[in-house]
Amino acid sequence: MDILEEVKMRLQNFGYNVDDSEGSSDLYIINFLINKVVKHIKCSCNISHVPDGLHEVAVDMVCGHFLNEKKTMDADSLSNINLDVAVKSLKEGDTQITYALGEGSLTPEAKLDLFIKYLIEYGEKDFAAYRCFAW
């Protein structure tokens, strides 16, 4: 399955239905972000293609950037995303996310921001395993 289809399925799992009709802005944004994330991974690792081990990281990064774009441009379109059960606890380095149904005093916007940050940043440390040094 290609990255576009996986991004669409992942977003659907979060509660966002991608408008994949011809000429939709969702498809344009997703394709743009796929190119951006792939280029970021390739440049960060100094490699010519995204390795299989970073494929899921790329999908989540694209989803995170997409949700961030939608939050900025059309926040109402994210109303179906259920963040109350999205994450119970997560600790990555010095970042810790803990929230679940009815817990915490985070606003829905703060939960969305943390979720987007998680999607964009999670797995970036995995780049080190694929990094090639240029001489």
Which amino acid is residue 114, in one-letter code? L
Share of the chain above pLDDT 90, in %: 61
Overall average pLDDT of the 6-26 stretch: 92
Structure confidence by residue, pLDDT tens digits, 54-91: 999 999 999 999 999 999 998 888 988 877 655 555 56
Please provide the DSSP assignment of 79-128 as one string: TT---TTT-S-EEETTEEE---TT-SS--HHHHHHHHHHHHHHTTGGGGG
Q: What is the mean pLDDT of residues 97-116?
A: 73
- Per domain, the residue ranges of the chain are 3-130
pLDDT of residue 20: 87
Residues contacting residue 17 through CB under 8 Å, at least 6 positions apart: 11, 80
pLDDT (0 to 100) of residue 86:
54
| Integer Cα distance of 24 and 14 in angstroms | 20
Look at the block and give the residue holding tokens 């995303």: 81
